[in-house]
Protein backbone atom coordinates (compact mmCIF):
# COMPACT_ATOMS: atom_id res chain seq x y z
CA UNK A 1 0.00 0.00 0.00
CA UNK A 2 2.98 2.31 0.43
CA UNK A 3 3.60 2.23 -3.32
CA UNK A 4 -0.11 2.82 -3.92
CA UNK A 5 0.02 5.86 -1.66
CA UNK A 6 2.92 7.31 -3.63
CA UNK A 7 1.04 6.65 -6.89
CA UNK A 8 -2.08 8.55 -5.86
CA UNK A 9 -0.42 11.28 -3.76
CA UNK A 10 -0.34 14.75 -5.30
CA UNK A 11 3.11 15.80 -6.54
CA UNK A 12 4.57 12.43 -5.58
CA UNK A 13 4.20 13.05 -1.83
CA UNK A 14 3.80 10.43 0.87
CA UNK A 15 0.44 9.21 2.14
CA UNK A 16 -0.09 7.17 5.30
CA UNK A 17 -1.80 3.79 5.07
CA UNK A 18 -4.71 5.08 7.16
CA UNK A 19 -5.41 7.77 4.54
CA UNK A 20 -5.91 5.27 1.71
CA UNK A 21 -9.23 3.71 0.80
CA UNK A 22 -10.13 1.04 -1.72
CA UNK A 23 -12.79 2.32 -4.12
CA UNK A 24 -14.25 -1.15 -4.66
CA UNK A 25 -12.48 -4.13 -2.99
CA UNK A 26 -14.32 -6.75 -5.06
CA UNK A 27 -13.44 -5.03 -8.32
CA UNK A 28 -9.83 -4.57 -7.21
CA UNK A 29 -9.39 -8.27 -6.49
CA UNK A 30 -10.98 -9.20 -9.81
CA UNK A 31 -8.60 -6.87 -11.65
CA UNK A 32 -5.59 -8.30 -9.81
CA UNK A 33 -6.66 -11.80 -10.79
CA UNK A 34 -7.04 -10.63 -14.38
CA UNK A 35 -3.39 -9.56 -14.32
CA UNK A 36 -2.14 -12.70 -12.56
CA UNK A 37 -3.95 -15.41 -14.52
CA UNK A 38 -1.97 -14.97 -17.78
CA UNK A 39 1.32 -14.90 -15.86
CA UNK A 40 0.60 -18.18 -14.06
CA UNK A 41 -1.17 -20.03 -16.90
CA UNK A 42 -2.08 -22.84 -17.10
CA UNK A 43 -2.25 -22.85 -13.26
CA UNK A 44 -5.52 -21.60 -11.76
CA UNK A 45 -6.01 -19.41 -8.71
CA UNK A 46 -5.98 -21.19 -5.34
CA UNK A 47 -6.67 -18.13 -3.16
CA UNK A 48 -5.43 -14.61 -2.46
CA UNK A 49 -3.67 -13.65 0.77
CA UNK A 50 -4.02 -10.05 1.96
CA UNK A 51 -1.21 -9.02 4.31
CA UNK A 52 -1.76 -5.95 6.45
CA UNK A 53 -1.64 -4.63 10.01
CA UNK A 54 -4.60 -3.55 12.15
CA UNK A 55 -4.65 0.17 12.97
CA UNK A 56 -2.73 1.03 16.15
CA UNK A 57 -2.74 -2.54 17.43
CA UNK A 58 -6.55 -2.64 17.50
CA UNK A 59 -8.89 -5.19 15.99
CA UNK A 60 -9.05 -5.33 12.17
CA UNK A 61 -10.48 -2.22 10.55
CA UNK A 62 -13.82 -2.36 8.78
CA UNK A 63 -12.03 -2.44 5.43
CA UNK A 64 -9.84 -5.34 6.53
CA UNK A 65 -12.81 -7.18 7.99
CA UNK A 66 -14.81 -6.82 4.78
CA UNK A 67 -11.84 -8.06 2.74
CA UNK A 68 -11.46 -11.07 5.03
CA UNK A 69 -15.13 -11.94 4.52
CA UNK A 70 -14.83 -12.09 0.72
CA UNK A 71 -14.68 -15.57 -0.84
CA UNK A 72 -11.21 -16.70 -1.85
CA UNK A 73 -9.44 -14.19 0.43
CA UNK A 74 -7.34 -14.99 3.48
CA UNK A 75 -6.59 -12.01 5.74
CA UNK A 76 -3.15 -12.21 7.39
CA UNK A 77 -2.41 -9.51 9.99
CA UNK A 78 0.84 -8.45 11.59
CA UNK A 79 1.28 -5.47 13.91
CA UNK A 80 1.59 -1.71 13.60
CA UNK A 81 4.17 0.11 15.73
CA UNK A 82 3.98 3.64 17.14
CA UNK A 83 5.56 5.06 13.98
CA UNK A 84 2.82 3.54 11.80
CA UNK A 85 5.18 0.88 10.40
CA UNK A 86 4.04 -2.68 9.80
CA UNK A 87 5.84 -5.31 11.85
CA UNK A 88 5.64 -9.07 11.48
CA UNK A 89 4.07 -8.91 8.01
CA UNK A 90 7.26 -9.88 6.15
CA UNK A 91 7.71 -12.96 8.33
CA UNK A 92 4.13 -14.05 7.60
CA UNK A 93 4.76 -13.75 3.85
CA UNK A 94 8.05 -15.66 4.00
CA UNK A 95 6.53 -18.42 6.15
CA UNK A 96 3.60 -18.84 3.78
CA UNK A 97 5.84 -18.89 0.69
CA UNK A 98 8.03 -21.64 2.14
CA UNK A 99 5.06 -23.68 3.42
CA UNK A 100 3.28 -23.53 0.06
CA UNK A 101 6.42 -24.65 -1.74
CA UNK A 102 7.41 -27.38 0.72
CA UNK A 103 3.90 -28.86 0.71
CA UNK A 104 3.65 -28.65 -3.10
CA UNK A 105 0.40 -26.72 -2.66
CA UNK A 106 1.04 -24.39 -5.61
CA UNK A 107 3.15 -24.16 -8.74
CA UNK A 108 3.17 -20.35 -9.03
CA UNK A 109 2.92 -17.42 -6.62
CA UNK A 110 2.35 -13.78 -7.56
CA UNK A 111 3.95 -11.54 -4.95
CA UNK A 112 2.80 -7.92 -4.78
CA UNK A 113 5.78 -6.36 -3.06
CA UNK A 114 9.11 -4.72 -3.70
CA UNK A 115 10.65 -5.33 -0.29
CA UNK A 116 14.27 -6.53 -0.19
CA UNK A 117 13.55 -8.41 3.06
CA UNK A 118 11.49 -10.98 1.13
CA UNK A 119 14.32 -11.99 -1.20
CA UNK A 120 15.64 -14.85 0.95
CA UNK A 121 12.14 -16.29 1.39
CA UNK A 122 11.61 -16.16 -2.36
CA UNK A 123 14.89 -17.99 -2.96
CA UNK A 124 14.12 -20.77 -0.46
CA UNK A 125 10.61 -21.27 -1.87
CA UNK A 126 12.01 -21.54 -5.40
CA UNK A 127 14.34 -24.31 -4.27
CA UNK A 128 11.22 -26.46 -3.79
CA UNK A 129 10.32 -25.98 -7.46
CA UNK A 130 7.73 -23.19 -7.55
CA UNK A 131 7.83 -20.06 -9.67
CA UNK A 132 7.46 -16.63 -8.03
CA UNK A 133 6.36 -13.64 -10.08
CA UNK A 134 6.57 -10.03 -8.89
CA UNK A 135 3.70 -7.63 -9.34
CA UNK A 136 4.83 -4.06 -8.69
CA UNK A 137 2.95 -0.78 -8.57
CA UNK A 138 3.91 2.68 -9.76
CA UNK A 139 7.59 3.64 -9.98
CA UNK A 140 9.07 0.15 -9.75
CA UNK A 141 12.59 1.42 -10.48
CA UNK A 142 12.61 3.25 -7.17
CA UNK A 143 10.16 1.34 -4.98
CA UNK A 144 11.25 -2.23 -5.76
CA UNK A 145 14.47 -3.98 -4.71
CA UNK A 146 16.62 -4.75 -7.75
CA UNK A 147 17.90 -7.90 -6.05
CA UNK A 148 14.32 -9.07 -5.48
CA UNK A 149 13.60 -8.53 -9.18
CA UNK A 150 16.69 -10.56 -10.08
CA UNK A 151 15.59 -13.37 -7.75
CA UNK A 152 12.05 -13.63 -9.11
CA UNK A 153 10.93 -15.52 -12.21
CA UNK A 154 9.11 -12.61 -13.85
CA UNK A 155 7.88 -9.09 -13.18
CA UNK A 156 4.73 -7.20 -14.09
CA UNK A 157 4.44 -3.46 -13.35
CA UNK A 158 1.08 -1.71 -12.93
CA UNK A 159 1.30 1.97 -13.79
CA UNK A 160 0.02 4.96 -11.84
CA UNK A 161 -3.16 5.16 -13.91
CA UNK A 162 -4.14 1.61 -12.92
CA UNK A 163 -3.73 2.17 -9.19
CA UNK A 164 -5.63 5.47 -9.33
CA UNK A 165 -8.64 3.55 -10.65
CA UNK A 166 -8.83 1.36 -7.54
CA UNK A 167 -7.32 3.41 -4.68
CA UNK A 168 -8.10 6.92 -3.46
CA UNK A 169 -7.03 9.27 -0.67
CA UNK A 170 -9.65 9.52 2.05
CA UNK A 171 -10.57 13.06 3.20
CA UNK A 172 -8.94 13.77 6.56
CA UNK A 173 -10.92 16.76 7.73
CA UNK A 174 -14.53 16.80 8.76
CA UNK A 175 -16.95 18.83 6.63
CA UNK A 176 -18.02 22.18 8.03
CA UNK A 177 -21.06 21.75 10.22
CA UNK A 178 -23.39 24.31 11.71
CA UNK A 179 -22.21 24.85 15.29
CA UNK A 180 -24.38 23.18 17.87
CA UNK A 181 -26.71 25.77 19.44
CA UNK A 182 -27.26 25.18 23.12
CA UNK A 183 -29.96 27.30 24.71
CA UNK A 184 -28.78 28.46 28.14
CA UNK A 185 -31.21 27.74 30.93
CA UNK A 186 -33.24 30.64 32.31
CA UNK A 187 -32.16 31.47 35.86
CA UNK A 188 -34.51 29.93 38.39
CA UNK A 189 -37.01 32.33 39.90
CA UNK A 190 -37.68 32.42 43.61
CA UNK A 191 -41.21 31.31 44.43
CA UNK A 192 -43.13 33.80 46.55
CA UNK A 193 -43.79 32.86 50.14
CA UNK A 194 -46.52 34.14 52.39
CA UNK A 195 -46.96 37.87 51.83
CA UNK A 196 -45.37 40.13 54.31
CA UNK A 197 -48.03 42.48 55.59
CA UNK A 198 -47.02 45.74 57.11
CA UNK A 199 -49.36 47.16 59.72
CA UNK A 200 -50.63 49.79 57.35
CA UNK A 201 -50.06 48.21 53.82
CA UNK A 202 -51.63 45.66 51.44
CA UNK A 203 -49.94 42.39 50.24
CA UNK A 204 -47.55 42.76 47.28
CA UNK A 205 -48.89 41.22 44.02
CA UNK A 206 -46.01 39.53 42.17
CA UNK A 207 -48.17 38.43 39.22
CA UNK A 208 -47.99 35.01 37.43
CA UNK A 209 -44.75 33.03 37.63
CA UNK A 210 -43.27 32.38 34.12
CA UNK A 211 -42.42 28.80 33.10
CA UNK A 212 -38.60 28.39 32.79
CA UNK A 213 -37.32 27.72 29.21
CA UNK A 214 -34.71 25.03 29.85
CA UNK A 215 -33.14 22.97 27.02
CA UNK A 216 -33.07 19.34 28.10
CA UNK A 217 -29.80 17.38 27.97
CA UNK A 218 -31.52 14.71 25.86
CA UNK A 219 -32.31 17.16 23.06
CA UNK A 220 -28.71 18.38 23.06
CA UNK A 221 -27.33 14.82 22.90
CA UNK A 222 -29.69 13.96 20.07
CA UNK A 223 -28.72 16.88 17.84
CA UNK A 224 -25.02 16.53 18.58
CA UNK A 225 -25.09 12.81 17.82
CA UNK A 226 -26.83 13.42 14.49
CA UNK A 227 -24.19 15.99 13.48
CA UNK A 228 -21.21 13.84 14.52
CA UNK A 229 -22.50 10.73 12.72
CA UNK A 230 -23.13 12.73 9.55
CA UNK A 231 -19.59 14.10 9.69
CA UNK A 232 -18.00 10.67 10.18
CA UNK A 233 -19.92 8.99 7.37
CA UNK A 234 -19.31 11.88 4.95
CA UNK A 235 -15.59 10.98 4.98
CA UNK A 236 -16.17 7.45 3.63
CA UNK A 237 -16.66 6.39 0.03
CA UNK A 238 -19.61 4.21 -1.09
CA UNK A 239 -17.56 0.99 -0.96
CA UNK A 240 -16.49 1.67 2.62
CA UNK A 241 -20.05 2.45 3.67
CA UNK A 242 -21.29 -0.75 2.03
CA UNK A 243 -18.63 -2.77 3.85
CA UNK A 244 -19.50 -1.10 7.15
CA UNK A 245 -23.18 -1.88 6.62
CA UNK A 246 -22.38 -5.54 5.95
CA UNK A 247 -20.39 -5.73 9.18
CA UNK A 248 -23.03 -4.04 11.32
CA UNK A 249 -25.81 -6.22 9.90
CA UNK A 250 -23.91 -9.32 11.00
CA UNK A 251 -25.47 -10.76 14.21
CA UNK A 252 -23.35 -10.09 17.27
CA UNK A 253 -21.19 -7.48 15.54
CA UNK A 254 -19.95 -4.29 17.15
CA UNK A 255 -19.02 -0.94 15.63
CA UNK A 256 -15.45 -1.16 14.24
CA UNK A 257 -12.93 0.54 16.49
CA UNK A 258 -11.85 3.21 14.00
CA UNK A 259 -15.45 4.49 13.89
CA UNK A 260 -16.37 3.91 17.52
CA UNK A 261 -13.40 5.75 18.99
CA UNK A 262 -13.98 8.81 16.79
CA UNK A 263 -17.73 8.78 17.46
CA UNK A 264 -17.29 8.84 21.23
CA UNK A 265 -14.34 11.28 21.26
CA UNK A 266 -15.88 13.84 18.89
CA UNK A 267 -19.28 13.66 20.58
CA UNK A 268 -17.66 14.23 23.98
CA UNK A 269 -15.88 17.30 22.58
CA UNK A 270 -19.10 18.64 21.02
CA UNK A 271 -20.98 18.34 24.29
CA UNK A 272 -18.08 19.60 26.38
CA UNK A 273 -18.31 16.81 28.92
CA UNK A 274 -17.47 13.16 29.57
CA UNK A 275 -20.12 10.87 28.14
CA UNK A 276 -22.09 8.61 30.44
CA UNK A 277 -22.62 4.95 29.62
CA UNK A 278 -26.16 5.85 28.57
CA UNK A 279 -24.85 8.57 26.22
CA UNK A 280 -22.46 6.11 24.58
CA UNK A 281 -25.15 3.46 24.19
CA UNK A 282 -27.48 6.00 22.57
CA UNK A 283 -24.78 7.26 20.18
CA UNK A 284 -23.82 3.73 19.12
CA UNK A 285 -27.45 2.76 18.58
CA UNK A 286 -28.00 5.84 16.39
CA UNK A 287 -24.79 5.18 14.43
CA UNK A 288 -25.84 1.61 13.68
CA UNK A 289 -29.34 2.74 12.70
CA UNK A 290 -27.99 5.43 10.34
CA UNK A 291 -25.58 3.04 8.59
CA UNK A 292 -28.09 0.19 8.26
CA UNK A 293 -31.14 2.21 7.21
What's the pLDDT at 116?
Answer: 94
Nearest to 120 by CA among 90, 143, 142: 90
Which of 108, 140, 169 is the C-terminal boundary of a domain?
169
Residues 34 and 144 placed together within one structural domain of the fold? yes
Residues 7 and 140 placed together within one structural domain of the fold? yes
Which domain CATH number covers 44? 3.40.50.1010
* C-alpha–C-alpha distance, residues 264 and 283, integer Å: 8
What's the pLDDT at 142?
Answer: 87
**Per-residue pLDDT tens digits of the chain, which is 293 residues long:** 455 555 555 555 566 666 778 888 888 899 999 999 999 999 999 999 999 888 766 678 888 888 888 999 999 988 766 555 566 789 999 999 999 999 999 999 999 999 999 999 999 999 999 999 999 988 888 889 999 999 999 999 998 888 888 888 777 655 444 444 444 555 555 555 555 555 555 554 545 544 433 344 566 899 999 999 999 999 888 888 988 998 899 888 889 888 999 999 999 999 999 999 999 999 999 999 999 98
DSSP state of 106: -
Residue range(s) defining the domain that contains residue 263:
217-292
Identify whether 80 is part of a domain: yes
What's the pLDDT at 78?
Answer: 80
Identify whether 198 is part of a domain: no
Identify whether 202 is part of a domain: no
> Quick one: CA dihedral 156, 159, 161, 163, positive or negative?
positive
What's the pLDDT at 80?
Answer: 62
Residues 40 and 153 placed together within one structural domain of the fold? yes
Identify whether 97 is part of a domain: yes
What's the pLDDT at 6?
Answer: 55
Alpha carbon separation from 88 to 76, 181, 253, 264 (Å, rounded): 10, 48, 27, 31
Terminal-to-terminal C-alpha distance of the chain: 32
Residues 129 and 13 placed together within one structural domain of the fold? yes
Number of domains within the chain: 2
What's the pLDDT at 105?
Answer: 95
Identify whether 180 is part of a domain: no
What's the pLDDT at 178?
Answer: 46
Residue 53 CB-density burial (10 A; 0-12 exposed, 13-18 middle, 19+ buried):
buried
Residues 11 and 148 placed together within one structural domain of the fold? yes
Identify whether 23 is part of a domain: yes
Identify whether 175 is part of a domain: no
Beta bridge partners of 274: none
Residues 144 and 230 placed together within one structural domain of the fold? no
Residues 231 and 139 placed together within one structural domain of the fold? no
Identify whether 94 is part of a domain: yes
Amino acid sequence: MAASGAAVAPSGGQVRRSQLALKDPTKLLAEIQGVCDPVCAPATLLRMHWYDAPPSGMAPSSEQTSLGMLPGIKLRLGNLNNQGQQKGVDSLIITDLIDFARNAAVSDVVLISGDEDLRVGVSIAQNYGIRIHLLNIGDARNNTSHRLVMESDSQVVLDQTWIQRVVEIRPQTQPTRTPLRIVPPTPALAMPGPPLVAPSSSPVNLGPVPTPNIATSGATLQSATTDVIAGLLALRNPAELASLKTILETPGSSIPAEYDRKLIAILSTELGRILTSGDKAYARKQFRAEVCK
